[in-house]
Amino acid sequence: MNPRVRDGRRIVVKVGSALVTNEGAGLDRDAIARWAAQVSELRTAGKEVVLVSSGAIAEGMQRLGWRKRPHMMHDLQAAAAVGQMGLIQVYESCFREHGMRTAQVLLTHGDLADRQRYLNARSTLRTLIGLGVIPVVNENDTVVTDEIRFGDNDTLAALVTNLIEADCLFILTDQQGLHTADPRRDPGATLVREASAGDPALETQAGGAGSIIGRGGMLTKILAAKRAARSGAHTVIASGREPDVLLRLAAGETIGTFLAAGTAPLAARKQWLADHVQVSGRLRLDAGAVRALMQDRKSLLPIGVKGVDGEFERGAVVACFSPDGHEIARGLVNYSSTESRRIMGHASKEIDRILGYVDEPELIDRDNLVLL
């Protein structure tokens, strides 16, 4: 048993095109129904699950009668637009059978590279999770270009894992896991049961490109695990055709390849905030806010802010200073400098009256704040 996976509460599950579309022969509704049933059980057990599903372009190709994946961007976008309809319909109907609601979330790299959109996407996904809704995430292939596309849904799944601070990333594929060599070419290849995410040797062992349906391969999965480990998430690469694979993985059963993260989630975020981000502005706090942050480990509320220095947008990293002028913390701010000045010194319940809307009740959420 693997307690590092078993004890994880928030899980991102990535399902590859070959599994969703039955090797390209249309959507495999029976397979999707099985995953929906397993996710329903996980939710009942108190787990939080976000699905990252490939298959839109593959389904679009099938509906359009295309046997080969096109190379032209506009053809790929058209296939995605057609296929996304069928893909989300099947997910919605399968989850509805278990009394569960779903939501479609389409992202591009630009959504996560821009701090404001990053926070918006994060807030949306966390709200959906809190409501008990299962987000079904896919790359927004209908609008992406070569400059902003993720390149594969393995990378997207890792970015979503970082975005919502998930504990584990399950990458389901048509292979058993990572092997010491390509098992399709080397009959002596053996399955790698456990390794450290980010180990350079893994990239050497990973094979080449994936199927003609998908655009990922084992290498993209290794790189995705490396990326997910930056926020402390462990990754498992396993066959999606294993019976009850999600339930067994969540229970800690050893299936496929386990890639361990070497950094705890909070430590990874703290290091990023404390050492690698340029501060865009300053918040001057009163003694009560300092005490709430330093002693009670609470979020920063606008009522505890007495001054705002600098100009910044929502999602910027700002420094928090005590009344005696010492920097005590820094974090990602939920409101711009203009908005912060208007709501500072006021209770959170007054934000709507002052601004006409509420993004978050906190000025800085404790999950996005590091004490110095």
For 120-142, the DSSP string reads HHHHHHHHHHHTT-EEEEEE-TT
Report how many domains make up the chain: 2
Is residue 42 domain-shared with residue 67, that is, in the same domain? Answer: yes
* Residue 170 contacts residue 6 (beta carbons within 8 Å): no
State the pLDDT at residue 216.
Answer: 47
Query: What residues make up the domain containing 229?
Result: 3-263
Is residue 252 domain-shared with residue 284, that is, in the same domain? Answer: no
Domain boundary at 216, 237, 263, which? 263
Q: Please give the C-alpha separations between residue 52 and each of 9, 25, 63, 256, in angstroms, as whole numbers.
A: 17, 20, 21, 19
State the pLDDT at residue 368.
Answer: 86
Is residue 307 domain-shared with residue 248, that is, in the same domain? Answer: no
Domain boundary at 263, 292, 323, which? 263
Q: Please give the C-alpha separations between residue 274 and each of 1, 65, 307, 332, 372, in angstroms, as whole numbers.
A: 35, 52, 22, 11, 7
CATH number of the domain to which 107 belongs? 3.40.1160.10
Is residue 347 domain-shared with residue 241, that is, in the same domain? Answer: no
**pTM of the predicted structure, to 2 decimals:** 0.77
Is residue 169 domain-shared with residue 203, that is, in the same domain? Answer: yes
Is residue 224 domain-shared with residue 273, that is, in the same domain? Answer: no
State the pLDDT at residue 209.
Answer: 43
State the pLDDT at residue 76.
Answer: 84
Query: End-to-end alpha-carbon separation of the chain, Å?
Result: 37
Q: pLDDT of the chain along its 372 residues, tens only? A: 788 888 889 999 999 888 888 765 678 999 999 999 999 999 999 999 999 998 888 888 888 988 888 888 888 889 889 999 999 999 999 999 999 999 999 988 777 767 678 888 888 999 999 999 999 998 887 776 654 566 678 989 998 998 888 999 999 998 898 888 777 777 878 888 998 998 888 877 775 444 433 444 788 899 899 888 888 899 999 999 999 999 999 999 999 999 999 866 656 556 556 654 468 899 999 999 999 999 999 999 999 999 999 999 998 889 999 999 999 998 989 999 999 999 999 999 999 999 999 989 999 998 888 888
C-alpha to C-alpha distance for 76 and 288, rounded to whole angstroms: 55
Domain boundary at 203, 232, 263, which? 263
Is residue 208 domain-shared with residue 330, that is, in the same domain? Answer: no
Is residue 70 domain-shared with residue 147, that is, in the same domain? Answer: yes
Rg, C-alpha atoms of the chain:
22
Alpha helices in the chain (DSSP H): 3-6, 17-20, 29-44, 56-64, 73-96, 109-113, 115-130, 153-163, 200-205, 218-229, 245-250, 265-275, 287-294, 337-343, 351-355
Is residue 314 domain-shared with residue 231, that is, in the same domain? Answer: no
State the pLDDT at residue 5.
Answer: 86
Is residue 248 domain-shared with residue 184, that is, in the same domain? Answer: yes
Compute φ and ψ for 287, nearest 5 degrees: -60, -35
CATH number of the domain to which 279 belongs? 2.30.130.10
